[in-house]
Amino acid sequence: MAITALERKPHPAPEPQVEWLASAEPVPYAEAVAAMDGRVASIARGEARECVWLLEHPPIYTGGTSADFAELLAPARFPVFRSGRGGRFTYHGPGQRVAYVMLDLSRRGRDIRAFVASLEDWLIATLVQLGIEGERRPGRIGIFVEGAKIASIGVRVRRWVSLHGVSLNVDPDLEHFSGIVPCGLPDMKATSLAALGATTDMDEVDRALRAAFAEVFAGEAVSANSSRSP
C-alpha cells in the first residue's frame, strides 16, 4: 500500500489542522479499516491531527450496521465485509473515489446530523466544480443526479471522532451495483461522472474534493509528510 501526502495548499491557519493522504494503489478493505481505527484512536487521544484519506478499494461489497443479507443478491461475486459504518449494502471498487473522513467532532459542535449534512454539502460543492448539479433526495442519504445516486455517505462516530465517510462514483463499473440492493432501495439506480459525460480523472476529482472541503469545513489544510497509513 502506498499512501502519499498531497501537495501543501496556502491557508491562513498558522498550523495544518487536517492532514490529507492519498493511496496510489487500491487498498484492501480490512487493511484500510485497521489503519483508520488506529488513526481515529490517536486523534481521540490528542496525538494526531484530523485526517482525510483518499483511496480506492478492490471490488467488494460492504454492509453497514443496518444491512439485511437478503439484499446481497450475488454473494459470491466479490468479497463481502461487515462494516461499522451506518447504512446498508454498497459496492466499492476501482473508479470510485472513497474519502475516509476522520474529524474531531468535539471541535465541530458534537452534532452528528449537522456533520452528515456537511458531508452532503461537500459532495454537492465538489460536483459543482466538476460541472454536475447534485441534489439531496427526501428520506435518502447520499447525493443524486437526475434521480440516480452518484455519491454515498456512511459514517460512524467513536469518542466524538468520525470514521468512514463518503464515496463518489467517478468511472466504476456500474453493473457491479446489480449484485446488491443498493442502500436497501430496489428502485435505486447508480450513476457516475463518466456516465453523465463529465470529462475528468481522479486527480481532478481530488482537487475538487479538497477545494470544496475548504468551502464547507473550517481549518482545512494539508501536511507535507508522507506516510504508509493514517
pLDDT for res 182: 80
Q: Which residues pair with residue 72 across a beta bridge? A: 180
Instruction: CATH number of the domain at 56, please.
Output: 3.30.930.10
pLDDT tens, residue by residue, 153-204: 999 999 999 999 999 999 999 999 999 988 777 788 999 999 999 988 999 9
Q: Does residue 140 have a pLDDT over 90?
A: no
Q: Kindly give, in sequence order, each residue whose CB lies less than 8 Å from that of residue 179, ignoring residues fewer than 6 positions away.
A: 61, 72, 73, 74, 77, 78, 91
- Tell me, what amino acid is at 174? L
Averaged pLDDT for residues 121-125 = 97
The answer to the question of residue 31 being in a domain is yes
The SS3 of residue 90 is strand
The answer to the question of residue 71 being in a domain is no
Averaged pLDDT for residues 7-22 = 60
The residue ranking higher by pLDDT, 73 or 185, is 73
pLDDT for res 86: 85
84-102 as b/e: b if 16+ CB within 10 A: bbbbbbbbbbebbbbbbbb
**CB atoms closer than 10 angstroms to residue 148:** 15
pLDDT tier for residue 2 given thresholds of 50, 70 and 90: very low
The answer to the question of residue 122 being in a domain is yes
Q: Are 102 and 163 in contact (CB under 8 A)?
A: yes
The answer to the question of residue 82 being in a domain is no
pLDDT for res 66: 86
pLDDT for res 229: 63
The answer to the question of residue 79 being in a domain is no
Please say whether the dihedral angle defined by the alpha carbons of residues 81, 48, 50 and 42, taken in this order, is positive or negative: positive
The catalytic residue among 183, 190, 212, 221 is: 183
Q: Does residue 1 have a pLDDT over 60?
A: no
- Respond yes or no: is residue 183 known to be catalytic: yes
Q: Rounded to whole angstroms, what are the CA distances from 74 to 35, 78, 197?
A: 28, 8, 29
The answer to the question of residue 65 being in a domain is no
Number of domains composing the chain:
1
The answer to the question of residue 190 being in a domain is yes
The residue ranking higher by pLDDT, 219 or 50, is 50
Q: Which domain does 32 fall in, by range?
A: 3-60+90-216
